[in-house]
Amino acid sequence: MNKTIELLKKNTMLIALVIVTLFFAATTGGTLLAPQNIANLIAQNGYVVILAVGMLLCILTGGNIDLSVGSIVALVGALAGQLIVNQKVNIYVSILICLVVGLAIGAWQGFWIAYVRIPAFIVTLAGMLLWRGVALIILDGLTISPFPDNYLNIFNSFVPDPFGGEINILCVAVGVGISILYVVLQLVDRAKKSKKGYEMESIAAMAVKSVLICAVIIVLAYMLAQYKGIPAILILLTVIVLAYAYYTSRTVPGRHFYALGGNEKAAKLSGIHTDRVLFTAYVNMALLSAVAAMACVARFNSAAPTAGQNYEMDAIASCYIGGVSAYGGIGTVQGAVIGAIFMGVLNNGMSIMGIDANVQKAVKGLVLLAAVAFDVISKKRAKTA
Amino acid sequence: MAELLLEMKNITKLFPGVRALDNVNLKVEKGEIHALVGENGAGKSTLMNVLSGIYPFGSYEGEIFYNGELCRFKEINDSEEKGIVIIHQELALVPYMTIGENMFLGNERGRKAAIDWNETYAKADGLLKTVGLNESSRTLIKDIGVGKQQMVEIAKALAKNVKLLILDEPTASLNETDSKQLLDLLLEFKKSGMTSIIISHKLNEISYVADKITVIRDGSTIETLDKKTDDFSEERIIKGMVGRDLVDRFPKREKKNIGKINLEVENWTVYHPLYSDRKVVDHVSINVRKGEVVGISGLMGAGRTELAMSIFGRSYGTNISGTLKINGETVNLKNAQQAIEKKLAYVTEDRKGNGLILSNSIRINTTLAKMDKISHYNIIDRDLEIKVANEYKEKLRTKCPSIEQKVGNLSGGNQQKVLLSKWMFADPDVIILDEPTRGIDVGAKYEIYCIINRLVAEGKSVIMISSELPEVLGMCDRIYIMNEGRIAGELSQAEATQESIMQHIIKSGKGE
């Protein structure tokens, strides 16, 4: 019984997400969970997931946030517009150039933050103004569009189904395949543990967890199969999320982010190059901003001077909703992703319900505060109880 | 019999799952200094928090009589109004405010909308004189040492018109001279009729200053000793605290096996990182052999920590000169990582500030300094990590529900053990321990000493920096005495006594 309560406490935001989803599914008469809308949700919120993952690393290093994200998205988007639409440069070369520019911007900001030790808030605030300005200069204040189809297809298309038919069979097959792969990996891990005599979770707990996760994957796959199949952007998101989840939880450099945010002095005396870790966080953030920019111009089919506005706030809010500590050192990629989906469902649900955009903003503000307050209070209870 | 000032009757305080205090009784007479002793977690601080209203009336059972009157404090302001002031172990001063501002914080002079700064500073200066602190009340707190800050706390209490002063570990971070000064001040106050309760782990101080000692163990009062009638020796007090005779406070090393020189520092000079013309370490030459425990004794601010940190990959100071030889080979360590690679470890004196990641688990802290031992190509082997962390938990007998416990929730002694695990896991040949037993109780201290003995038995070298002379005398084969950045003397275990060490310090202070 106690264990169940503990498990629920650990996953408060996940439960909140389920509740909110069910709420909107009910109030929208099921439209929220209609196959087409799910594909829509993914396309709409892809950029938030990408940015939230990057922002997680920045916040982990000690509660520092990156305010320049939206402006970098605008700048890189503008650059992509210039190269692809106006200069007709090969799209792959263009993407490469855009990513390199992202890296360069990150290196610039990371240098001031990590090596000169100017507070991240100030450096990125300057970046927010600077990169927006550069974006406007590149665009000359105008919007560039339309992008060629071969570029749009990279992000907006669906993986074609070789089988044809009513329902997208490939999509279902992939869903089932991933589920099987997950179970096999779990079993292999368990076998390894039992061979070496390590502690293991109970078989029942493992079974319940596996069944739930596989069910979610298969249901999602089945839903998508009813529409056009696997969206290309979903593949990109999956790769990014898995890679960063692995990086932060299972690798030595990933661990360094937590150490730096938890106690910088102790990290330094433990032989961690704290400057380098901080630098990496901001370079990475800018790189992911560039990736998000590529996805955004494809989705809107245009590079606009106002692109990316308030994106940094979406990313920061996702992290905080997802249980990332505002003081650094605590937080997971899974949490940030749940936060991003939470925001996405909220936006999408309210839009479908036809709630006024101004009201939506107010609600979002309240939800952010409520989510974090809920988390803080439940943790406080856990401590005294 | 003198008049009772305070009587706490049958105090019981429950935390979920724990009975922190169980029918505790405490009687304090007017004008006495009453000491409260007990191991960490025995309930001393909890009792004082009940008294001062931090745990409000209603959250505990039992009665508090103060000046013959039943008290029901709802918050700390209620108890302060009656003249009960508590000074916590962790000083509560704002570094960027002046001494005067701090002293009257929450108790401002003048009117709410118009603070009278002239009165503030005039009164503050007067109180500083009373506590014998020779500083202007306009000095910033961050510019004075810990010893002086402690005095400011006392002056602050005086400003609140204190009648019963409670000091929780007031000398934990003070050196011998500063501690003595503080204790003498308490005796001075006693003459003028003030009552104090002092909590301390330093038993020699308690027998010096206290009139009565109440021993608390596992949340219950064990006994109250009276200076007039009872034995006040440290052995007697320890017996009460741990419930048995602790025959030997320092475990003996069975077989000494001292080998060749493992680490050697010559002409080591370090300058202050901010004031680059201030020499913090001045031409220091020391060495440590395999299987040897070398102590560095000296007053606070003698440059011991600075010396250790500058050796450990230049983690402190600028303009460092001198040679460092490890195993006979001259090395130039540029950062902590290189120091760890050369099998050097530095266990900090400030475990919360510089040592541990409090928000992380025991597991993560244990492996932090040497993660390549549990990873391949930077990928962490989580199973191996769990196994290693459990091994060290067993080996050092860290008391915790699991290795996933957050280090911030552990007691001081157990945090120190996690910190030691971390550096033992880094597999050093030379381990520098900076105040390894600060703020931890007698039992945990003994265990740490045993760990030190085990390390040297394995042929490692230990450099122990400590302000507690008995500990240095009891544990070290050789002792360096440091004063004002210089080595003031070197004594073998046979030559060293408290007196001879103090003499060296005083002599070097006079410039002889």
Ordered alpha helix ranges (H), A11-166: 12-27, 35-60, 69-80, 91-110, 120-139, 149-156
Residues of B in contact with A270 (CB under 8 A): 336, 340, 368-369, 422
Express each pLDDT in B195-219 by its tens digit: 999 998 788 888 889 999 998 887 8
- What pLDDT is attached to residue B511? 54
Averaged over B363-378, what is the pLDDT? Answer: 91
Express each pLDDT in B16-41 by its tens digit: 666 778 889 999 998 899 999 887 66
Averaged over A243-260, what is the pLDDT? Answer: 93
Q: How far is CA B84 from CA A283, B8, B37, B71, in A?
A: 55, 14, 20, 12
Q: What is the mean pLDDT of chain A?
A: 89
Residue B320 scores a pLDDT above 50: yes
Averaged over B325-336, what is the pLDDT? Answer: 90
Residue B106 backbone class (left: φ over 0; alpha: ψ -120 to 50; beta: rest): left
- What pLDDT is attached to residue B18? 66
Cβ <8 Å between B312 and A269: yes
pTM: 0.80
Nearest Cα of chain B lies from the Cα of A167 at a distance, in angstroms, of 40
Cβ <8 Å between B368 and A265: no
Residue A249 scores a pLDDT above 70: yes
- What pLDDT is attached to residue B295? 93
Cβ <8 Å between A269 and B337: no
Residue B245 scores a pLDDT above 70: no
Q: Does domain B252-343+428-511 have CATH number 3.40.50.300?
A: yes
A350 token code pair:
């309210």
A266 token code pair:
């102790």
Cβ contacts of B493-497, under 8 Å, gap ≥ 24: B496/B472, B497/B473
Query: If you measure CA to CA, which chain B residue comes closest to A200?
Result: B383
Express each pLDDT in B443-454 by its tens digit: 788 888 999 999
Averaged over A18-47, what is the pLDDT? Answer: 90
Express each pLDDT in A34-89 by its tens digit: 889 999 999 999 999 999 999 999 999 988 899 999 999 999 999 999 999 999 99
**Which of B315, B369, B383 comes nearest A193 by C-beta?**
B383
Give the mutation candidate from B357, B379, B410 for the A interface (greatest A CB count, under 10 A): B357
Kindly list the strands in the beta sheet with B318-326, ordered across the sheet, starting from the edge strand earlier in the chain. B279-289, B261-271, B318-326, B329-331
Of A130, B59, B6, A311, the closest CA to residue A122 belongs to: A130
Q: What is the DSSP string of B375-434?
A: EETTEE-HHHHHHHHHHHHHHTT---S-TTSBGGGS-HHHHHHHHHHHHHHT--SEEEEE
- What pLDDT is attached to residue B512? 45
Cβ <8 Å between A196 and B378: no
The CA distance from A223 to B486, in Å, is: 76
Cβ <8 Å between A329 and B359: yes
Torsions phi, psi for A198 (to 5 deg): -85, 165
- What pLDDT is attached to residue B408? 85
The CA distance from A307 to A80, in Å, is: 13
Is A4 in CB contact (< 8 Å) with chain B? no
Query: If you measure CA to CA, which chain B residue comes closest to A384?
Result: B16
Tally the C-alpha atoms within 13 A of residue B341's C-alpha that lie toward its C-beta: 11
Nearest Cα of chain B lies from the Cα of A56 at a distance, in angstroms, of 16
Cβ <8 Å between B360 and A192: no
- What pLDDT is attached to residue A2? 63
Tally the C-alpha atoms within 13 A of residue A37's C-alpha that lie toward its C-beta: 17
- Among B residues 395-454, those touching chain A with beta carbons less than 8 Å apart: 422
Nearby residues of B456 by Cβ (< 8 Å), 6 or more positions away: B253, B291, B292, B293, B462
- What pLDDT is attached to residue A31? 87
The CA distance from B451 to B444, in Å, is: 11
Higher pLDDT, B286 or B131: B286
Structural Rg of chain B based on CA atoms: 24
Residue A175 scores a pLDDT above 80: yes
Nearby residues of A3 by Cβ (< 8 Å), 6 or more positions away: none
Spans of all domains in chain B: 1-83+161-247, 96-160, 252-343+428-511, 352-426
Higher pLDDT, A381 or B217: B217
- What pLDDT is attached to residue A3? 66
B59 token code pair:
């959250």
Is A251 in CB contact (< 8 Å) with chain B? yes
Residue B268 scores a pLDDT above 50: yes
pLDDT band with cut points at 50, 70 and 90 for residue A98:
very high
Residue A174 scores a pLDDT above 80: yes
Cβ <8 Å between A385 and B357: no
Nearest Cα of chain B lies from the Cα of A38 at a distance, in angstroms, of 35
Torsion sign over Cα A80, A83, A85, A88: negative
Query: If you measure CA to CA, which chain A residue comes closest to B335?
Result: A271
Residue B84 backbone class (left: φ over 0; alpha: ψ -120 to 50; beta: rest): beta
Averaged over A229-246, what is the pLDDT? Answer: 93
Cβ <8 Å between A269 and B348: yes
pLDDT band with cut points at 50, 70 and 90 for residue A385:
very low
Question: What percentage of chain A has pLDDT greater than the value 70?
Answer: 96
Residue A382 scores a pLDDT above 70: no
- What pLDDT is attached to residue A381? 62
Express each pLDDT in B144-185 by its tens digit: 877 888 889 888 888 888 899 999 888 877 777 888 888 998
Count of other CB atoms within 10 angstroms of residue B31: 17
- What pLDDT is attached to residue B166? 92
Express each pLDDT in B387-424 by its tens digit: 999 999 988 888 888 898 888 888 788 899 999 999 99
Express each pLDDT in B214-237 by its tens digit: 988 878 888 888 888 888 887 788
Nearest Cα of chain B lies from the Cα of A247 at a distance, in angstroms, of 8
Averaged over B55-81, what is the pLDDT? Answer: 87
Residue A165 scores a pLDDT above 80: no
For residue B293, what is the DSSP state? Answer: E
Express each pLDDT in B97-111 by its tens digit: 889 888 888 778 888
Q: What is the mean pLDDT of chain B?
A: 86
Cβ <8 Å between A329 and B371: no
Can you name the CATH fold of A13-157+231-379? ABC transporter involved in vitamin B12 uptake, BtuC (1.10.3470)
Can you name the CATH fold of B1-83+161-247? Rossmann fold (3.40.50)
Helix axes A91-110, A120-139, angle to 10 degrees: 150
pLDDT band with cut points at 50, 70 and 90 for residue B510:
low
Nearest Cα of chain A lies from the Cα of B395 at a distance, in angstroms, of 18
